[in-house]
Structure 1
Amino acid sequence: MIQKREDIKDRFVEAFGTEPVVFRAPGRINIIGEHTDYNDGFVLPAAIDLAVYVFIQRSGSDQSKLISIDLDESYFFNIKEALAPVDQGWVNYFLGVIDQLQMAGHQLEGFNLMFTSDIPMGSGLSSSAALECGFGQALIDLFDLNVPKMDLAKMGQAAEHKFAGVKCGIMDQFASCMGKDGHVVRLDCRSLEFEYYPADFKAYDLVLFDSNVKHNLADSQYNIRRAQCEEGVKALQSVNPDITSLREANLEDLAEAQASMEEVVYRRCKYAIEENIRVQTVCEALQAGEIERVGQIMLETHHGLSKDYEVSCKELDTLIEIATNCEGHIGGRMMGGGFGGCTINLIRKDKVDKVISQVVDGYKKALGIDTKVYRVAIADGVGRLK
């Protein structure tokens, strides 16, 4: 990627006659804390070493040009004209960020931009959030705007809601903006307060196995899970009127309210309450350097997602089952909304190549599907490259 960046800088100079400034915005993983965000709970993301790279410079006029190196597409527009979503989907992430900055009263001028990414598309590593944060930081620096990184994360989220039409949570943009090398970040999804925890994975590798499937249940089942959690909160309020979300409930409350809720609603609530407990337990394990304990808790989360929350699928369960039976695999779980996508795994460095080979071969033999493998490391959040 370093050589590619140098090539793009040369292309930029050739196309526009000026030297660009370059920004890097990472994708993200989530160690633990799945389906907790809309229950006012906690998540534990980290920025990674796969990223979007933005090359930018003022154009000297109101005219702006966006160039996607990877798609070999471009888009022209006037920065002073009204913005609205367009048919070129990738362009909307840029227009949405511009719209947010202008709505906040910031004055922008024309610019020229090229970008590339080594974040695999559709892998669940939040390439869209990285694009929004990298571009937003580029504009902030280029035009000397006073925008804190937390505000940039909120703008990226709003841009995705309004221009891309995706009702995402705040975690992806937050991790891309606020990530810190060697650390995970515990984010309170209700207050947006956050705290860094050391993630000393030196003896271990983080490996993602892509199931290469995406079942179309994801969106409809997401809405059903949210409704079931809300139904559970109403039942819990009969035993504790102060409960306004599952974040405030404990397992004792749930046991007391169990008779007044359907069995499936009980299991959804049980998972969400236990997952918040697991996030805190993982934070304590990280502080104590107990990485193998972290792996075990990740497996507990996968079991909960598969059996109680029921957002896993045969492919994800198969990947975890095969990996768990490999020497050197200390834990893993499905990552993301579910019904496809990736598993995230902690594997001892001295065994990682063998585990990868066993999982790739085993998955193909079991289901006839190839799996993509992504080895990632925790890295810093968005910033300008020297």
Structure 2
Amino acid sequence: MLSSAIASFFQQRFAATPLLVRAPGRVNLIGEHTDYNAGFVLPAAIDKEIYFAVALNGTSTIRLHSFDLGEDHEVALADVAPSSTLWANYLLGVVAQFQKRELPVQGFDCVFGGTIPMGAGMSSSAAVECGLAFALDTLLHTRLDRMELARISQKAEHEYAGVQCGIMDQFASLFGQAGHVVRLDCRSLEYAYFPFDANAYHLVLCNSGVKHSLASSEYNTRRQECERGVAVLQQYYPEVASLRDATLEQLEKHQAELGEVVYRRCRYVVEENLRVEQACQHLLAHDLPAFGQDMYGSHAGLRDQYEVSCPELDILVELARPLPGVVGARMMGGGFGGCTINLVEASAVESFVTAMKRAYEKQTGIALETYQTTIVDGVGMLAPVAVS
């Protein structure tokens, strides 16, 4: 088991008994591109995780080891700054946030590694940040609450990795709850849990195997288009601080002034927020087939209105739709590549994976990777590992 291997490596390398921590990746079932519009998202923590072995070392030095890469990075506490070792920045950014808060950071040793596929949209970076933040909070007795740990981790990504992410990924890693998805209000940070019947239905991710270079530039463009829409609406409705506050009626009334493209972008965001609310009601009613229809609706909106899908993602959704036991599918993440998330009856998962691999490779020439996931608790400690 990877967590045991990491613990054993730590004890042999540093001759100390570490704190062991697991930090999960996440999926987002519905609510895409709503976070930066102060809307709603519906993520869950999953059993693809980063494992940490961490201990204070009584010095003024941080010693980091990436178990997966077999690489080291060492720095004095006084010299913490963004590094040319890219993987180390996610960890150093967390340390820097503790230091900014004038918390008593001490030298420590850390070995980490994980099972989250890189580049598949499961937020491995957030798991790395949140796992170390939790470990340091525990070892240093700083008693920060989980929302503060999420903010620390988000800021680490902003300032040390240069990614201006929302807080959803870090929130999901820290606040996940087994058997539940969690609806987060990205404006107020209020949240609520909704049951997910993991015995009857499984979440299966299908990796398109592509990542188009459009993603980052188009992401910024979409943000600007949403902001333009808000600026137009605010002239008539001062209470519209973000698209979260807009209604379909308001958009339709000012469609000509918004222009066709901005209108479509804004309409998607308003409808997606409504879909998140509707999907939560379906979960309360234990009606996952109805939830799946909202997933299809989300994908159609992302494809046709927000225009952030790509041919490979569309092919995956359309291949999944007629297969036995599939009740929903959609692209997940920023777009232009990455994964689809599929809601599949537990008894049909094996045949689904076989059929999808065969059909996708036949149609695109790309070998399909799939990931079966279980919803788990958020960041937490693991039991100590005995080393013989």
Normalised TM-score (structure 1): 0.97
Deviation for aligned residue 1:201: 2.8
Alpha-carbon distance in structure 2 between the residues aligned to 1:148 and 1:241: 35
Alpha-carbon distance in structure 1 between the residues aligned to 2:169 and 2:182: 12
Letter of the 1:219 partner, please give it: S
5+ long unaligned stretches in structure 2: 384-388
Letter of the 1:309 partner, please give it: Y
Deviation for aligned residue 1:76: 1.2
Deviation for aligned residue 1:7: 2.6
Q: Secondary structure in 1 aligned to 2:342?
A: strand
Q: Which residue of 2 aligns with 1:138?
A: 135
Alpha-carbon distance in structure 2 between the residues aligned to 1:347 and 1:246: 32
Q: Which residue of 2 aligns with 1:326?
A: 323
Letter of the 2:49 partner, please give it: A
Paired residues of 2:34 and 2:273 also in contact (CA < 8 A): yes
Alpha-carbon distance in structure 2 between the residues aligned to 1:353 and 1:325: 15
Q: Secondary structure in 1 aligned to 2:86?
A: coil
Of residues 56, 59, 77, the one that matches 1:58 is 56
Of residues 21, 24, 35, the one that matches 2:22 is 24
Within a 5 Å distance, the mapping from 1:60-79 to structure 2 comes to 60-79=58-77
Deviation for aligned residue 1:303: 0.3
Q: Which residue of 2 aligns with 1:278?
A: 275
Within a 5 Å distance, the mapping from 1:81-96 to structure 2 comes to 81-96=78-93
The reply on whether 1:382 has 2:379 as its aligned counterpart is yes
Alpha-carbon distance in structure 2 between the residues aligned to 1:264 and 1:174: 32
After TM superposition, the runs of 4+ consecutive aligned structure 1 residues lying more than 3 A away are none
Deviation for aligned residue 1:214: 0.4
Deviation for aligned residue 1:63: 2.3
Letter of the 1:366 partner, please give it: Q
Of residues 131, 148, 154, the one that matches 1:151 is 148
Alpha-carbon distance in structure 1 between the residues aligned to 2:103 and 2:336: 41
Deviation for aligned residue 1:373: 0.4
Within a 5 Å distance, the mapping from 1:291-302 to structure 2 comes to 291-302=288-299
Paired residues of 1:187 and 1:194 also in contact (CA < 8 A): yes
Q: Which residue of 2 aligns with 1:289?
A: 286
Deviates more, 1:330-339 or 1:355-364: 355-364
Alpha-carbon distance in structure 1 between the residues aligned to 2:118 and 2:56: 29
The reply on whether 1:188 has 2:185 as its aligned counterpart is yes
Letter of the 2:20 partner, please give it: V
Alpha-carbon distance in structure 2 between the residues aligned to 1:122 and 1:282: 27
Paired residues of 2:34 and 2:272 also in contact (CA < 8 A): yes
Task: Kindly tell me the number of residue pairs found equivalent between the two proteins.
Answer: 383
Deviation for aligned residue 1:361: 0.9
Deviation for aligned residue 1:243: 1.2
The reply on whether 1:202 has 2:199 as its aligned counterpart is yes
Deviation for aligned residue 1:231: 1.4
Alpha-carbon distance in structure 2 between the residues aligned to 1:199 and 1:349: 13
Q: Secondary structure in 2 aligned to 1:51?
A: strand
Normalised TM-score (structure 2): 0.97
Letter of the 1:33 partner, please give it: G
Alpha-carbon distance in structure 1 between the residues aligned to 2:80 and 2:107: 14
Alpha-carbon distance in structure 2 between the residues aligned to 1:225 and 1:45: 21
Of residues 1, 5, 8, the one that matches 1:7 is 5
Identical aligned pairs, as a percentage? 50
Deviation for aligned residue 1:50: 0.9
Paired residues of 2:2 and 2:114 also in contact (CA < 8 A): no
What value does the CA root-mean-square deviation take over the aligned residues? 1.0
Deviations 1:184-220 (A, max 9, x none): 1111111111111111232111000000000000111
Q: Which residue of 2 aligns with 1:365?
A: 362
Of residues 294, 309, 320, the one that matches 2:306 is 309
Q: Which residue of 1 aligns with 2:342?
A: 345
Q: Secondary structure in 1 aligned to 2:72?
A: strand
